[in-house]
C-alpha cells in the first residue's frame, strides 16, 4: 500500500511504473553490467530524492516502480536515469560501445504508467518476475 506524504501545502502519493529498452534490444544487462546498472539507478534515484520500490531487469530492458513528489517531471526523471546511467556504464564497461554501435545504450523511447493502490501489488509481482522468465 502506498504511503501518503506531506509537503509544504500539499499531500501526495505518486508512483510510476517505468520501462525502457537497450538500444537495438541487445542482450547486455547481465553479470557485472546488470549489477552496475542497478547500483547506478539506485544512486541516481537517491540523488534526485526518488524512491525505487521495485527494480528488475531482463537482458534487454529494465523495469522500475518508483515513488516521487509532485515537483518531479517524468521526462526529466527518465532523462536522468537513462542519460547518467549510460554515460557511467560506458565509462566502466567500454566493451558495451562495440556491442552498441552509435554510442547509445538506451532506446530513446520508454513506457510509463501510474500506479494506484489497486494495481501496485500486480506491478510489483510483475517486476519481481522479470528475472524468472
The pLDDT tens digits for 107-121 are 999 999 999 887 888
Question: What's the domain range around 116?
Answer: 5-132
pLDDT at 40 over 90: yes
Q: What CATH number is attached to the domain comprising 69? A: 3.30.70.1290
- pLDDT tier at 8, thresholds 50, 70, 90: confident
- Give dist(CA 78, CA 66) in Å, integer: 11
End-to-end, the C-alpha distance of the chain in Å comes to 26
The number of domains in the chain is 1
Catalytic residue list: 126
Q: What is the pLDDT of residues 89-98, one digit of tens each?
A: 999 999 998 8
Distance CA 55, CA 50 (A): 13
pTM value is 0.90
Amino acid at each position: 500500500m502506498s504511503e501518503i506524504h506531506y509537503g509544504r501545502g500539499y499531500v501526495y502519493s505518486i508512483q510510476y511504473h517505468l520501462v525502457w529498452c537497450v538500444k537495438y534490444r541487445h542482450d547486455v544487462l547481465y553479470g557485472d553490467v546488470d549489477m552496475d546498472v542497478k547500483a547506478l539507478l539506485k544512486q541516481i534515484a537517491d540523488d534526485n530524492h526518488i524512491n525505487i520500490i521495485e527494480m528488475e531487469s531482463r537482458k534487454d530492458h529494465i523495469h522500475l516502480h518508483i515513488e516521487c513528489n509532485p515537483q518531479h517531471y517524468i521526462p526529466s526523471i527518465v532523462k536522468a536515469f537513462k542519460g547518467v546511467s549510460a554515460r557511467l556504464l560506458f565509462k566502466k564497461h567500454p566493451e558495451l560501445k562495440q556491442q552498441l554501435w552509435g554510442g547509445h545504450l538506451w532506446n530513446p523511447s520508454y513506457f510509463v504508467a501510474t500506479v494506484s493502490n489497486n494495481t501496485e501489488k500486480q506491478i510489483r509481482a510483475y517486476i519481481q518476475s522479470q528475472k524468472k522468465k
